[in-house]
Homo-oligomer: A and B are copies of this chain.
């Protein structure tokens, strides 16, 4: 493709206010926060979600707060007629719908590619058909695979994948970039660290809360306790998406979205126990699961150069996560 175009600047981007945005997976943990952030920024939002892990009730508050600004469409991406109706007229598509659980890839080696790459293919095909030119995509730090640099930036050495989840996201990123080159689209790829916050419904804190509710006196945990996690408060992460799509001016904009703050598993377990007012004995089993990258620290300098930074402390983010789970025991009753 034309090198001038790859390196060149596009015309100034319209701000989110007044934009029509389709969010796939918009009823999920992450998607519902994004939907709220977009509405707060003045956008009109259409949410497309199949309800498999998403919860429509997550959007109840936004629906009341922004009458007429939020459309909700329940369906599978494979229902192209419904997707077409939901997507028509959009200025921007933000594609979050995915299998978001990095674990279990070994048991179902096809699932991540089917859902994550397959869903992205459907979305891009429909955008191309409808002439929609802007897409943002939720990717992951897992695309850095076996890269063991301490702090990983977007131009780090070409990594080797070590999980089906990360591999499926690399594949989806690659397809999106190829579409951008072929059809003059503009794309925003966000590589997130794991997120925590209200409505969080799988992952290590979820597991800890669930276990401690079952047995407040004793908890068994994978690993050694010294594994470090650079998690991010979900609403801070979604603010990064808003900043990125408003200010990213390349055809392919890639942003790490991470945190320089971190906690060890041992620390966060203490925080959770404190918030739950329990004092368990803790057993670390030493074992890990395939594909987990416990020490991944994303360098978010590119995002920070646009003025973004995480506002909430991790301690407070964990507190909100635990409180929400305790206030919503129905979430804990589901499979993690």
Contact = CB atoms under 8 A, between A and B. Distances in A.
A178 B105 contact: yes
A162 B179 contact: no
Interface in A151-192: 154-164, 166-168, 170-171, 173-175, 177-179, 181-183
A174 B177 contact: no
Interface stretch (A33-41, A106-114, A270-278): A106-114
Interface string A56-99: 00000000000000000000000000000000000000000000
A210 to B, nearest CB: 26
Interface of A: 1, 3, 6, 105-106, 109-110, 113, 117, 121, 124-125, 128, 144-146, 148, 154-164, 166-168, 170-171, 173-175, 177-179, 181-183, 252, 254, 290-291
Contacts of A148: 3
Contacts of A164: 175, 178, 182
B154 A178 contact: no
Contacts of A158: 144, 154-159
Nearest to A107: B182
Nearest to A144: B158
A29 B301 CA distance: 47
Contacts of A252: 160
Given A113-B175, A160-B254, 14 more contacts: A3-B148, A105-B182, A109-B128, A109-B179, A117-B117, A156-B158, A158-B158, A164-B175, A167-B178, A170-B171, A171-B171, A171-B174, A181-B290, A181-B291
A224 to B, nearest CB: 14
Contacts of A121: 110, 113
B160 A157 contact: no
A183 B173 CA distance: 24
B182 A146 contact: no
- The interface centre, meaning the residue of A1, A144, A179, A183 with most chain B CB atoms within 10 A of its CB, is A1
A15 B6 CA distance: 45
Contacts of A125: 109-110
- The interface centre, meaning the residue of A105, A109, A117 with most chain B CB atoms within 10 A of its CB, is A109
A141 to B, nearest CB: 12
Nearest to A117: B171
Contact of A6 (B3, B146, B154, B254): B146
Contacts of A156: 157-158
Given A109-B125, A158-B158, A254-B160, A177 B167 contact: yes
A166 B158 CA distance: 14
B1 A291 contact: yes
A177 B160 contact: yes
Given A109-B125, A156-B157, A290-B1, A170 B174 contact: yes
Nearest to A156: B158
B109 A162 contact: no
